[in-house]
């Protein structure tokens, strides 16, 4: 049977981060030429991240010696870099603010931004004074709040539906469908931001957990499961429903993670996906604010922007994130 540690999650996460970057590039660049990039399936990529987290965090908790050890690992992986991007944005974006330095740093909004974003409640203060037309500084950070909620939910899910519970699979499927009810209900009311909170997006974490708990069976039947998943997602898209598609997307994502063996060593140079993800949004907006996409060839600037994002992500990992692990 396949070794659970032999996978290409590192490649998969970089791919998902790149999809998010491309989609946000099209949406934020204010360039007609780059609008084609808006077709990048950003939402699907974000849900892919949730599925990967569902699998890997369940595995992390299962392998941890204690609850304290598990929480320590999770907090060290997420919080330091998250706080870094929040504080760097508050300080460095003063250079692109329409307000003078003194007026900028005396504005209470700066400190509201620092406080609310530091406690993962980005929606309370998403903007900085005079920056990006007082629009959201970093629209990618909402997912980190959801991730943290899931991290703290995992011990409870294991307590009630852990490996030794014979009703585990059924119980998790019940939670899956309850999550879908929540998601579809608030989407029907056009309350999209509310639908994407942890009760709603739990239906994307659960498939990862279920596949972890049933890993051997998944590997044994992964080819037929993959075919069923692709057909099911296609049908769900035709009828515009979300019933089985989150579970099927989970199967597709985990199928990719445990196929393409030549990509298994992709992460040997470092885990810089997180840095790319949390820094790309404000970097794109800086390029837009400075007129780079407007005044120069937008495709060349898109490539330069991508290189800057990758460089920042790699630097964040090697110079900062790595030290906390």
Q: What pLDDT, in 10s, does the model give residues 99-140?
A: 999 999 999 999 999 999 999 999 999 999 999 999 999 999
Q: Is residue 2 part of a domain?
A: no
Can you give the pLDDT at residue 74? 92
Q: Indicate if the pLDDT at residue 260 is higher than 70.
A: yes
Token pair belonging to 43: 């939402």
Q: Is residue 111 part of a domain?
A: yes
Separation of alpha carbons 283 and 260, rounded Å: 32
DSSP state of 119: T
* Helices assigned H by DSSP within the chain: 9-28, 42-63, 67-92, 101-105, 108-118, 142-161, 168-188, 192-195, 198-213, 215-220, 222-239, 245-257, 273-289, 292-295, 298-319
157-192 pLDDT, tens digit per residue, is: 888 776 666 788 888 999 999 999 999 889 888 888
Token pair belonging to 269: 């140079």
Query: DSSP string spanning 187-229?
Result: HHTT-HHHHTSHHHHHHHHHHHHHHHHTHHHHHHTHHHHHHHH
User: For a pLDDT cut of 70, what percent of the chain falls above it?
Assistant: 97
> Reduced to 3 states, what is the DSSP secondary structure of residue 236?
helix
Can you give the pLDDT at residue 164? 63
40-85 pLDDT, tens digit per residue, is: 999 889 999 999 999 999 999 989 989 899 999 999 999 999 999 9
- Give how many domains the chain has, as a whole number: 1
Can you give the pLDDT at residue 166? 72
Q: Is residue 316 part of a domain?
A: yes
> In which domain, by residue range, is 275 found?
9-324
Q: Indicate if the pLDDT at residue 2 is higher than 80.
A: no
Can you give the pLDDT at residue 165? 67
Q: Is residue 54 part of a domain?
A: yes
Contact 93/282 with Cβ under 8 angstroms? yes
| pLDDT-derived band at 267, boundaries 50, 70, 90 | confident
| pLDDT-derived band at 7, boundaries 50, 70, 90 | confident
Residue that is written with structure tokens 């409870």 in the block = 156
Contact 150/142 with Cβ under 8 angstroms? no
Separation of alpha carbons 139 and 122, rounded Å: 9
Q: Is residue 1 part of a domain?
A: no
Q: Indicate if the pLDDT at residue 198 is higher than 90.
A: no
Closest by CA to 141, choosing from 84, 202, 184, is 84
Closest by CA to 37, choosing from 310, 306, 314, 313, is 306
Closest by CA to 250, choosing from 198, 211, 200, is 211
Separation of alpha carbons 256 and 218, rounded Å: 12
User: What are the CA-CA distances from residue 56 to residues 9, 121, 214, 254, 309 (Å)?
Assistant: 9, 24, 14, 11, 25
Contact 222/255 with Cβ under 8 angstroms? yes
Q: Is residue 3 part of a domain?
A: no
The chain-wide mean pLDDT, for the chain, equals 91
Q: Is residue 134 part of a domain?
A: yes
Can you give the pLDDT at residue 262? 79
Q: Is residue 142 part of a domain?
A: yes
Contact 305/21 with Cβ under 8 angstroms? no
């Amino acid at each position: 049977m396949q070794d659970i540690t032999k996978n290409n999650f590192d490649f998969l996460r970089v791919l998902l981060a790149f999809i998010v970057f491309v989609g946000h590039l099209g949406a934020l660049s204010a360039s007609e030429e780059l609008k084609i990039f808006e077709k990048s399936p950003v939402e699907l990529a974000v849900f892919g991240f949730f599925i990967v987290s569902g699998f890997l965090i369940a595995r992390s908790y299962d392998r941890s010696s204690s609850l304290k050890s598990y929480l320590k690992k999770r907090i060290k992986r997420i919080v330091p870099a998250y706080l870094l991007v929040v504080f760097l944005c508050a300080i460095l974006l003063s250079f692109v603010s329409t307000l003078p330095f003194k007026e900028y740093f005396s504005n209470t909004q700066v400190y509201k931004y620092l406080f609310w974003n530091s406690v993962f409640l980005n929606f309370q203060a998403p903007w900085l004074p005079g920056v990006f037309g007082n629009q959201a500084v970093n629209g990618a950070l909402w997912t980190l709040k959801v991730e943290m909620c899931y991290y703290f939910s995992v011990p409870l899910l294991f307590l009630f539906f852990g490996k030794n519970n014979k009703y585990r699979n059924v119980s998790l499927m019940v939670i899956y469908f309850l999550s879908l009810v929540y998601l579809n209900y608030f989407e029907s009311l056009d309350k999209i931001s509310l639908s994407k909170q942890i009760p709603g997006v739990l239906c994307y974490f659960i498939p990862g957990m279920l596949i972890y708990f049933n890993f051997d069976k998944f590997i044994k039947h992964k080819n037929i499961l993959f075919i069923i998943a692709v057909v099911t997602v296609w049908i769900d898209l035709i009828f515009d429903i979300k019933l089985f598609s989150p579970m099927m997307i989970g199967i597709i994502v985990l199928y990719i993670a445990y196929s393409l063996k030549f990509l298994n060593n992709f992460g040997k140079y470092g885990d810089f996906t997180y840095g790319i993800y949390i820094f790309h949004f404000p970097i794109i907006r800086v390029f837009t604010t400075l007129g780079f996409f407007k005044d120069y060839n937008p495709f060349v600037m898109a490539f330069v922007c991508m290189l800057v994002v990758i460089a920042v992500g790699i630097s964040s990992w090697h110079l900062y994130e790595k030290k906390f692990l």
